[in-house]
Chains A and B, each alone.
Chain A
Amino acid sequence: MLAMTPIISVSNLSKTYGSGFKALNGINLDIKRGEIFALLGPNGAGKTTLISIICGIANLSEGSVTVDGHDINRDYRAARSLIGLVPQELHTDSFETVWATVSFSRGLFGKPKNPAHIEKVLKDLSLWDKKDSKIITLSGGMKRRVMIAKALSHEPQILFLDEPTAGVDVELRKGMWEVVRTLQASGVTIILTTHYIEEAEEMADRIGVINKGEIILVEDKAGLMQKLGKKELKVHLQGRIDAIPASLAAYNLELCDDGHAVIYDYDTKGDRTGITSLLTDLRDAGIRISDLDTRQSSLEDIFVSLVRAP
């Protein structure tokens, strides 16, 4: 039963800034226990505002948020002690050591000292050999990991990662994904925002798309890809053609690879994919085929089409 109740529940949340700008408009969102939830959206869509409100950094204008049943305003101590936050910007105390700043975070969240836990966190994030270094001497990627270590210092149940891999090189990004997966395996619920569609595609169980302050879609990743996913069939030709024969005009084919291949878009959920008749018609037109391959459209394609929709 416990597993069924959402760990975070946002209802009718709106945020209007002092300037009158409405950053969030009637957000309803449930985060399931133990999942990795990716929040996708273009710049200025309201991702960071939403996270800031849930974590207590910004006040909400309307609506309510509960974290594991605790209202974030009335019962803020219980709600916040469950949450670890890694903000988008690298905010660090330059002159503190890694060990001191991570221990400070644990104290701030009211947890008793536990050097063994801090040691484990630093080792998991490959920061152990830097524990006595001042933060100012670290690289950007290391600072990012210090911020994750701070967020994990008090053993949170929920971890918010706001653009965790922005400006992080590919290798480090893969390493961070590994850390996130390990955390999920230990029972931590993870909410990440990202610009990188591949990150959501790689990591998330569910995906929410936010645009102009409104949640426009929340879906299982697989379901989302299937629901909106167009597939693409690429037909490689034995010879070369200059133009699509008129007899094939109905298929809306696209010529590519300098005339050595054609691309056909189809919908796997349609009654008929049209593949069989396409192949037949190609043969009838005297075109010989050397190979076929198909490709599922990526989340990026889906995302772009959603956000651009009027």
Chain B
Amino acid sequence: MNYRAIRAIYLFEMARTWRTLLQSIVSPVVSTSLYFVVFGAAIGSRITEVEGVSYGTFIVPGLVMLSVLTQSIANASFGIYFPKFVGTIYEILSAPISYYEIVIGYVGAAATKSIILGLIILATAALFVPLHILHPWWMLTFLVLTAVTFSLFGFIIGIWADGFEKLQMIPMLIVTPLTFLGGSFYSVNMLPSGWRTITLLNPVVYLISGFRWSFYEIADVSVALSLGMTLGFLAICMILVWWIFRTGYRLKN
């Protein structure tokens, strides 16, 4: 195991985060605060309670997940796409490191960043609404699992993308709609039954449901199913990454 190489990549990526602090941390926090103002205060004042908690409190886990998902993908995809774009990837490929060491470095840094961000947003939310977390360890487990899974997914997008347009396409066209329709702002039980069935095809529902359960013990689907789906998605991403490096897809030809 080339720990020094993992460390070098990880620290390099984290240094990029600190260098772009404003765009990395401050802007997601500002946009999440806006969600609280718009959904929590303006709309929330007309919805009294959802399954026993106030609407403002209800949307907190969904908002954290929304940021963690999009930021994990954005960080990891950009982190690997940029060296490909400017050509510095040559050095990574010619170094005596294995593919999983490369992945640990890049994905680890992207996930770290979005976990930090998720916790900051949680702290920001506490300024707006009273928060109570019934299962803090499960909350952290879901947070870390989601951050790692979607950072892996972002890594795959970053390797697949051969232009900035493609880099934006999947997050914009697929991930954002799935997150908004995944129960960030409502309980799936609030939907008519036909829509509820369709919604259950959306993987993000399981992530948000499990995460929300760790806060309030309110869930759209069972926690075991949430955990299983998250781990399943993680496994799919790992297999894809393994295939990418085995074939050298978009990297070595």
- A residues at B contact (CB < 8 Å): 17-18, 55-59, 76-81, 83, 85, 87, 89, 91-95, 100, 104-112, 150
CB-based contact B252/A107 at 8 Å? no
Bound-state CA distance A268–B169 (Å) is 68
B22 contacts partner chain A, Cβ-Cβ < 8 Å: no
Bound-state CA distance A80–B94 (Å) is 6
CB-based contact B253/A76 at 8 Å? no
Tell me the number of A-to-B contacts counted with CB atoms below 8 Å.
74
B15 contacts partner chain A, Cβ-Cβ < 8 Å: yes
B2 contacts partner chain A, Cβ-Cβ < 8 Å: yes
Task: Give every chain B residue within 8 A of A100 (Cβ-Cβ).
Answer: 15
CB-based contact A18/B96 at 8 Å? no
Query: Which of A59, A89, A94, A108 has a CB less than 8 Å from the CB of B91?
Result: A108
Task: Give every chain A residue within 8 A of B7 (Cβ-Cβ).
Answer: 107
CB-based contact A77/B91 at 8 Å? no
Task: Give every chain B residue within 8 A of A94 (Cβ-Cβ).
Answer: 86
Binary contact readout B110-121 vs A (1 if CB under 8 angstroms, 0 otherwise): 000000000000
Bound-state CA distance A17–B252 (Å) is 10
> In the complex, what's the smallest C-beta–C-beta distance from B94 to chain A, in angstroms?
4
Bound-state CA distance A100–B18 (Å) is 15
CB-based contact A109/B96 at 8 Å? yes
Bound-state CA distance A100–B8 (Å) is 10
Query: Which of B92, B98, B252 has a CB less than 8 Å from the CB of A59?
Result: B252
- B residues at A contact (CB < 8 Å): 2, 4-5, 7-9, 12, 15, 19, 86-88, 90-98, 248, 252-253
> In the complex, what's the smallest C-beta–C-beta distance from A230 to chain B, in angstroms?
41
> A56-B93, A56-B94, A59-B248 known; A107 and B88 CB under 8 Å?
no
Task: Give every chain A residue within 8 A of B12 (Cβ-Cβ).
Answer: 104
> A107-B8, A110-B5 known; A93 and B86 CB under 8 Å?
yes
Task: Give every chain A residue within 8 A of B15 (Cβ-Cβ).
Answer: 100
Task: Give every chain B residue within 8 A of A77 (Cβ-Cβ).
Answer: 2, 96-98
Query: Which of B4, B92, B253 has a CB less than 8 Å from the CB of A58?
Result: B253
Which 9 interchain pairs have the tightest Cβ spacing?
A107-B8, A91-B87, A77-B96, A80-B96, A81-B96, A55-B94, A110-B2, A108-B95, A57-B93
Bound-state CA distance A58–B7 (Å) is 25
Task: Give every chain A residue within 8 A of B94 (Cβ-Cβ).
Answer: 55-57, 80, 83, 85
Query: Which of A58, A93, A109, A111 has a CB less than 8 Å from the CB of B88?
Result: A93
Query: Which of A78, A91, A93, A112 has a CB less than 8 Å from the CB of B90?
Result: A91
CB-based contact A108/B87 at 8 Å? no
Pull 11 A–B residue pairs with CB atoms less than 8 Å apart, ordered by A: A57-B90, A57-B93, A57-B94, A80-B95, A85-B94, A105-B91, A108-B9, A108-B92, A108-B97, A110-B4, A110-B96
